[in-house]
């Protein structure tokens, strides 16, 4: 089947009931060196080409005519009347959706440590990189370094690279590409202990137990941890591991404490 003979749908048919960002499924009807054509049934013909095709080339090597694939609509109508599709975007969105389900079910995940820095570990889950702060490690994995020397902490954490550990999802936000993991949480060491009651607006005092690109963790009240979001960190210059400071509880949601610093 030649692409030039593919029947173009009218603009009305192409636009009917569709929107950019929609996830669709279809059957591969043609594949060549420059692109791939997908029969979307009543929704028309989709095409993966250009940059999108180049990004998905490796994953499409084993794809054959007749195979079904899932893709995301990035343009409702190309110059040739097809719907432009993205395989990479669809895979990423599906991965985030799967992670949301895992978080809601409090499922335990096994993942391999990919990299380490002074703040914690990087693990890949569903093709997405997640961050496991050092403060969320179990005691047997937490770096025991005298004086909290950042270089020594990093060296200890790097010993975990390549190892498989069990984690749960601490927090995630697809729009910010944020995936924070916890090893402690599996042992039910929750941030908010049932015997201690906190309310929004309460002032707490503790020390910084972890620093990430998403924010810093403040440990207080014998092991309870709250997250100081990155936008709040701007109020305090150069936060350091072990630094003592005061903060207010901005919100408590889903057994998580979010903190705000004084202006």
Quick check: is 192 in a domain?
no
Q: Which two tokens stand for residue 180?
A: 């924070």
- Residue-level pLDDT at 263: 63
Last residue of a domain, one of 92, 114, 134: 92
Q: How many domains does the chain have?
A: 3
* 177 lies in the same domain as 112: yes
* 208 lies in the same domain as 241: yes
Quick check: is 197 in a domain?
no
Q: Model's pTM, two decimal places?
A: 0.56
d(CA 168, CA 188): 10
Report whether 28 contacts 63 (CB < 8 A).
yes
Last residue of a domain, one of 92, 120, 146: 92
Quick check: is 27 in a domain?
yes
* 84 lies in the same domain as 152: no
The domain that contains 64 carries what CATH number? 2.40.50.140
- Residue-level pLDDT at 14: 44
- Residue-level pLDDT at 169: 92
Quick check: is 195 in a domain?
no
- Residue-level pLDDT at 7: 44
Average pLDDT by stretches of 10, the chain with 263 residues = 46 60 90 90 89 82 88 88 87 87 89 90 90 84 70 87 92 88 71 60 86 78 81 80 87 81 76
Quick check: is 99 in a domain?
no
Q: Which two tokens stand for residue 23?
A: 């996830």
* 10 lies in the same domain as 82: yes
> In the 8-state DSSP scheme, what is residue 191?
S
- Residue-level pLDDT at 180: 92
* 171 lies in the same domain as 208: no
d(CA 89, CA 114): 23
Q: Residue 255 contacts by C-beta under 8 Å, 6 or more apart in sequence?
A: 190, 191, 192
* 150 lies in the same domain as 85: no
**Structural domain of 246:** 203-260
* 123 lies in the same domain as 68: no
- Residue-level pLDDT at 111: 92
Output the CA–CA distances (angstroms, integers) from residue 151 to 118, 119, 146, 155, in the order listed.
Answer: 7, 11, 11, 6
* 173 lies in the same domain as 219: no
d(CA 126, CA 106): 16
Last residue of a domain, one of 133, 159, 187: 187
* 182 lies in the same domain as 240: no
């Amino acid at each position: 089947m030649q692409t030039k003979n593919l029947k173009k749908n009218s603009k009305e048919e192409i636009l009917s009931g569709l929107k950019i960002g929609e996830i669709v499924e279809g059957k591969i009807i043609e594949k060549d060196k420059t692109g791939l054509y997908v029969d979307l049934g009543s929704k028309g013909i989709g095409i993966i080409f250009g940059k999108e095709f180049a990004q998905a080339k490796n994953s499409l090597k084993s794809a054959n005519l007749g195979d079904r694939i899932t893709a995301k609509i990035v343009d409702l109508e190309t110059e040739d009347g097809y719907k432009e599709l993205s395989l990479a975007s669809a895979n990423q969105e599906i991965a985030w959706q799967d992670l949301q389900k895992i978080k809601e079910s409090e499922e335990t995940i096994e993942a391999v440590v990919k990299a380490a820095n002074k703040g914690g570990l990087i693990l890949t889950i569903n093709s997405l990189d997640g961050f496991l702060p050092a403060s969320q490690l179990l005691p047997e994995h937490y770096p025991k370094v005298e004086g909290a020397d950042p270089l020594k902490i990093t060296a200890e954490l790097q010993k975990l690279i390549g190892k498989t550990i069990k984690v749960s999802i601490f927090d995630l936000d697809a729009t910010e590409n944020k995936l924070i993991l916890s090893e402690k949480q599996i042992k039910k060491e929750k941030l908010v202990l049932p015997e201690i009651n906190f309310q929004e607006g309460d002032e707490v005092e503790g020390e910084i137990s972890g620093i990430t690109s998403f924010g810093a963790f403040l440990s207080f009240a014998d092991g309870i941890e709250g997250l100081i979001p990155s936008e709040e960190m701007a109020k305090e210059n150069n936060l350091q591991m072990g630094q003592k400071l005061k903060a207010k509880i901005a919100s408590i949601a889903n057994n998580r404490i979010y903190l705000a610093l004084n202006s």
